Amino acid sequence: MVILITMTRYISNILTFLVFVDIIIGYFLSPFHPVRRVLDSIVRPMLEPIRRLMPQTGMVDFSPLVLVVLIQVLEYLIIAILRAFV
């Protein structure tokens, strides 16, 4: 079980890191840059459902923040479930 908990934390941290890197790189690189395209191909499928549900807020996109919160909540729930089986 400890291995599953550790892997859950690593996956959560990696996904959160990728979301933040995608946001930062989005300001500097062209949408056609290979690095940005790879990051977008990973992060965009997770952001699209959130963007469809959230109302437009002008120029500020809060969907990455919502995604990070959801990742953290899922991490907490998965770890709690795994600890319940120990």
Parse the chain into domains and list their residue ranges. 12-84
- Please choose, from the candidates 76, 86, 47, 77, the residue with its C-alpha nearest in 3D space to the C-alpha of residue 63: 47
pTM to 2 decimals? 0.90
Query: Scanning the structure block, which residue is given the tokens 């959130």?
Result: 50
- C-alpha 21/C-alpha 24 separation (Å) is 5
- C-alpha 12/C-alpha 68 separation (Å) is 9
Query: What pLDDT digit, counting tens, does each position of 24-80 carry?
Result: 999 999 999 999 999 999 999 999 999 999 988 888 889 999 999 999 999 999 999
Is the per-residue pLDDT at 86 higher than 80? no
The pLDDT value given to residue 75: 97
- Residue 77 structure tokens: 């729930």
Average pLDDT over residues 1-30: 95
